[in-house]
Chains A and B, each alone.
Chain A
């Protein structure tokens, strides 16, 4: 059992606050992805859990044990670094066995575990090589195998795939998911790539400016963003926003159309994903500004009431610049945000 609890963790570097009062519980065997743009504090949070950084205030608990005062080696964690950090003076075998030798495991056990994890990561034929003789993808496999060989309670990964080329990243992503599910360890995975986050995570924590904005299942984050930031950050292209004026009784004026919405005092923002609009008879009037054929779909950028609005439409349509369309938002996919708090309004 290795549940991770992060309690009121804050981190300041001089006068700069990198993390504000983070509270997060990661269940045993859960795959948690910390997602955010660079500088949002996700790596700092990971390093605090690892023990490579000390929190200014707050506590970290792993498996019911408070660990924030312990050095990394006593926390029951293993880490995979962005630049792999494969020791260049050791062979692949010795790299994978490094932590096992530090634990002073018997030679036979070291050999067994190294060979097992190497086979798991498909690098059993590279055991005699040095890091300089490996490709980036192979180094990454060594780094993951080295972490897995420790049989840790928790595995921490800091953008492990971001230095790989696109095709390799896709392949490694699928493989990582399988291997980690098999190993039954709790995982924290830091990335700025939302597709990676979506495909790997049991749960995603979206971070922004040193805070966790939303922590939820990938689909929930996509469908029901808790804040405007999440709606604009997740999804490619991101959610569309349009200003909405109250007409009373849960009626809202959006781009000249009256739409049913929540009862709320003050103005709101209407939000809808680009794929959740259809061409229809009544709805938002849009003027086509840009048409980008993406094969499966047509990405159409329009002008709706003076605001840029993206729609994903069927690629069989033939559209020209300046065409006027009527876009019907799908009722159950409409979302509303309060511009004052930037939070979602139900």
Chain B
């Protein structure tokens, strides 16, 4: 008898909290997945269906819009540029960000806290303010309209994340593991390559992919700093301004899909990075 009478009120008090939780999850999912689903449906519908009313919520699997893009002049070059810029961003942001993350995690130095804050603050600085001086500087140095120049800008955007993510990765590795390696015949460098690196490699990969996605999604700097060698985002922004709506949907679809796939692939590590679930 006793367990029943005590269990009932507890369940009753828990139920509303559970319902609020479930509702929040549902709301968030609809908020994110709704537009993506509509994008998906409209991309795979014929132009007539996209423009007609009422809307259908079931895709027709009409590949006309996507096929149009495949043959679109300059499309493949822009896609190639996007991949090149994103790959360079990925490499540079880890090459620069990971040592900074290691230093933040392992060494005590004056101004460490300020440094961490400043890293975050770079994200608060509006890019449009920088656009004109940056464009002038790039033209002077000959970096304008090059994939490398754009990758530099994207790297500065991705570095704060690379630093903070690798900082938390390194902090998750007990210093004793390194110290044990030193006492077992390692130098600082060999201890790093033999002990630390294997342990953080998955996290570094995730953080690299995150940098890739940041570059892939970036449109403002890409549009301002390139003319001939546009990345996919800048290219679509320019070409689709006056395009019919079904092509805009298809363009959006092409942009969103790779980013989604990448983020999905590394989601486990992103959770770990933000400290939601360590390991």
Asked whether A52 and B184 contact (CB < 8 A) given A88-B199, A89-B198, the answer is no
The proximity string for B residues 160-204 relative to A, scoring 1 for CB distances below 8 Å and 0 otherwise, is: 000000000000001011011111111100100011001100000
Contact in complex: B184, A81 (CB < 8 Å): no
On whether the beta carbons of B184 and A102 are closer than 8 Å, the reply is yes
Q: Is A52 a contact partner of B182 (Cβ separation < 8 A)? A: yes
Q: Does A103 sit within 8 A of B, measured CB to CB?
A: yes
Q: Determine whether A8 belongs to the interface, using a CB cutoff of 8 Å to chain B.
A: no
Q: How far apart are A120's CB and chain B's nearest CB, in angstroms? A: 18
Residues of B within 8 A of A50 (CB): 183
Q: Which residue of chain A is the closest to B180 with respect to CB atoms?
A: A85
Q: Is the CB of A87 within 8 A of B185?
A: no
**Across the two chains, which residue of chain B brings its CB closest to A101?**
B185
A336 part of interface (Cβ distance < 8 Å): no
Q: What is the CA–CA distance of A78 and B185 in the complex, to the nearest angstrom?
A: 9
Q: Is the CB of A85 within 8 A of B187?
A: no
The reply to whether A73 and B179 form a contact with Cβ atoms under 8 Å apart is: no
Task: Report whether B187 and A73 are in contact in the complex, using a CB–CB cutoff of 8 Å.
Answer: yes
The one of B184, B186, B194 in contact with A150, judged by C-beta atoms closer than 8 angstroms, is: B184
- Distance between Cα atoms of A278 and B63 in the complex (Å): 100
Which residues of A, 326-343, contact B by the 8 Å Cβ criterion? none
- 8 Å CB contacts to B: which residues of A70-126? 71-73, 77-79, 81-83, 85, 87-89, 98-99, 102-103
Cα of A245 to Cα of B174 in the assembled complex, Å = 55
How long is the Cα–Cα vector from A33 to B7 in the complex, in angstroms? 55
Closest 10 CB pairs of A and B: A102-B185, A99-B184, A85-B180, A85-B176, A79-B183, A72-B182, A73-B185, A72-B183, A89-B198, A81-B176
Task: Assess whether A102 is in contact with B190, with CB atoms less than 8 Å apart.
Answer: yes
B183 touches A83 (CB 8 A): no
Residues of A within 8 A of B (CB): 50-52, 71-73, 77-79, 81-83, 85, 87-89, 98-99, 102-103, 143, 146, 150, 156
**A residues near B180, Cβ cutoff 8 Å:** 79, 81, 85, 87, 143, 146
Separation in Å of the B176 CB from the closest CB of chain A? 4
Nearest CB in chain B to that of A104: its residue: B185
Q: Taking A85-B176, A88-B199 as contacts, is the C-beta distance between A98 and B182 under 8 angstroms? A: no
CB-nearest residue of chain B to A78: B183
Also in contact, A98 and B187, with CB within 8 A (given A52-B179, A89-B198, A89-B199):
no
Q: Given known contacts A71-B187, A73-B187, A102-B190, is B177 in contact with A87 (CB within 8 Å)?
A: yes
A72, A79, A85, A143: the one contacting B174 at CB < 8 Å is A85
| Interface hub of B176, B185, B190, B195 (most chain A Cβ within 10 A) | B185
Cβ–Cβ < 8 Å partners of A150 in chain B? 184-185
Q: What residues on A are CB-neighbors of B199 within 8 Å?
A: 88-89
Could you say which residues of chain B place their CB within 8 Å of the CB of A78? 183-184
CB of B171 to closest CB in A, whole Å: 15
A139–B198 Cα distance when bound, in Å, is: 20
- A21, chain B: closest CB distance, angstroms: 25
Cα–Cα distance between A85 and B183 once the two chains are bound (Å): 12
A85 to B184, CA, bound (A): 12
Nearest-CB distance from B278 to chain A (Å)?
13
Set of chain B residues within 8 Å of A99, measured between Cβ atoms: 183-185
Using CB atoms, name the residue of chain A closest to B190.
A102
Closest CB in chain B relative to A44 CB, distance in Å: 14
- Neighbouring A residues of B195 by C-beta, 8 Å: 87, 89
Q: Decide: B179 and A98 in contact? CB cutoff 8 A.
A: no
Bound form: Cα–Cα A81–B177 in Å:
9
Which one of A73, A82, A87, A103 lies within 8 Å of B183 (CB-CB)?
A73
Q: Within 8 Å CB of B176, what residues of A?
A: 81-83, 85
Are A83 and B174 in touch, CB under 8 angstroms?
yes
8 new A-B contacts at CB < 8 Å, known A73-B186, A78-B184, A79-B180: A51-B183, A73-B185, A81-B180, A85-B176, A88-B177, A89-B198, A99-B184, A146-B180
Q: Is the CB of B181 within 8 A of A98?
A: yes
**Which residue of B181, B184, B199 has the most chain A CB atoms within 10 A of its CB atom?**
B184
Bound together, the chains give a CA A151 to CA B45 distance in angstroms of 73
8 contacts between A and B (CB under 8 A): A71-B187, A73-B187, A78-B183, A79-B183, A83-B176, A85-B174, A87-B181, A99-B183
Check A85 against B177 for contact (C-beta < 8 Å). Answer: yes
Min C-beta distance of A148 to chain B, whole Å: 12
Q: What string of 1s and 0s marks CB contacts (under 8 Å) between B228-267 and chain A?
A: 0000000000000000000000000000000000000000
Instruction: Return the chain A residue nearest B177 by Cβ.
Output: A85
Taking the nearest CB of chain A, how far is it from the CB of B129, in angstroms?
Answer: 41
By beta carbon, the residue of chain A nearest B178 is A85
CB-based nearest A residue for B188: A71
Residues of A within 8 A of B194 (CB): 98
Q: How far is the CA of A71 from the CA of B180 in the complex (A)?
A: 12
Whole-angstrom distance between the alpha carbons of A19 and B180 in the complex? 23
Contact A73 B198 (CB under 8 A): no
Find out whether the CB atom of A73 lies under 8 angstroms from the CB atom of B174.
no
Q: Which of B177, B180, B190 gathers the greatest number of chain A CB atoms within 10 Å?
A: B180
Complex formed: what's the CA distance from A256 to B23 in Å? 79
- Shortest B34–chain A CB gap in Å is 41
Contact mask for chain B residues 49-87; partner A; CB cutoff 8 A; 1 contact, 0 none: 000000000000000000000000000000000000000
Question: For residue B173, which residue of chain A has the nearest CB?
Answer: A88
> Cα distance A102–B185 when bound, in Å?
6
CB distance from B183 to the nearest CB of A (A): 4
Q: Is the CB of A73 within 8 A of B182?
A: yes
